[in-house]
Chain A
Amino acid sequence: DTAVSQTPKYLVTQMGNDKSIKCEQNLGHDTMYWYKQDSKKFLKIMFSYNNKELIINETVPNRFSPKSPDKAHLNLHINSLELGDSAVYFCASSNSGSRSYNEQFFGPGTRLTVL
């Protein structure tokens, strides 16, 4: 019954590997996001999709590739993982309607550790 869910919750992997994180929301929202929270706890937007269309793409290495198969899912694939990719990645979703203030609902996060 979790509104925004992510898998896995923890991911430990070696440098150079490729990994994916999955996100699903059952809120009926039309917009989904990926954020990175670094060791200093700042949340930074990486990507945003509205109705499966990419609308925000921050300065993120092209090793990061989001994919949205439908409005309820937004996956994040990372190629050639580096030590600096270690962080907590949060998925979020919102509705783009004018009365919603675009309030974003966050998933529980995926803690990625690159060794």
Chain B
Amino acid sequence: KNQVEQSPQSLIILEGKNCTLQCNYTVSPFSNLRWYKQDTGRGPVSLTIMTFSENTKSNGRYTATLDADTKQSSLHITASQLSDSASYICVVSPKAAGNKLTFGGGTRVLVKP
């Protein structure tokens, strides 16, 4: 069964600090992996998309890494801001799945001043 597991479930960090979120998946064969940011009361918004051949991708202060061999990904947030408070969802797209994505449960990040 295709699964995506994220850790930690939640974390609190001080403004200006860095943090790293983890994602492990069992989806195979694998097409691409995405990280979404979901603000409270809103729909998810894409941060990064990586294919199996990419190791890292950045979007401003967000940097995602991918190790397709160990089926792990991470999302690093640099110099956190209050607006980074949100849920971050790891999403994996299997090959030939008709656009059917597998979602992780998300990591809820709270940035405190």
Q: A109: shortest Cβ distance to chain B, in Å?
A: 5
**SS of B interface (majority):** strand
B1 / chain A contacts, CB cutoff of 8 Å: none
The size of the chain A interface, using a CB distance under 8 A, is 25
Bound Cα distance A8, B98 (Å)? 28
Give residues 2-26 of A contacting B (CB, 8 Å): 4
Instruction: Tell me the minimal C-beta distance from A39 to chain B in angstroms.
Output: 11
* A109 touching B43 in the complex, CB below 8 Å, given contacts A40-B105, A41-B87, A101-B32: yes
Q: Using Cβ atoms and an 8 Å threshold, which residues of chain A touch B51?
A: 101
Contact B99 A96 (CB under 8 A): yes
Q: B99–A56 contact, CB under 8 A?
A: yes
Structural contact, B99 and A31, CB atoms closer than 8 A: yes
Give me the interface of A with B, judged by CB distance under 8 Å: 4, 31, 33, 40-45, 48, 55-56, 90, 92, 94, 96, 101-109
18 contacts between A and B (CB under 8 A): A33-B99, A40-B105, A43-B89, A44-B103, A45-B100, A45-B101, A48-B100, A55-B98, A90-B44, A94-B99, A96-B99, A103-B49, A104-B46, A104-B99, A106-B43, A108-B42, A108-B43, A109-B41
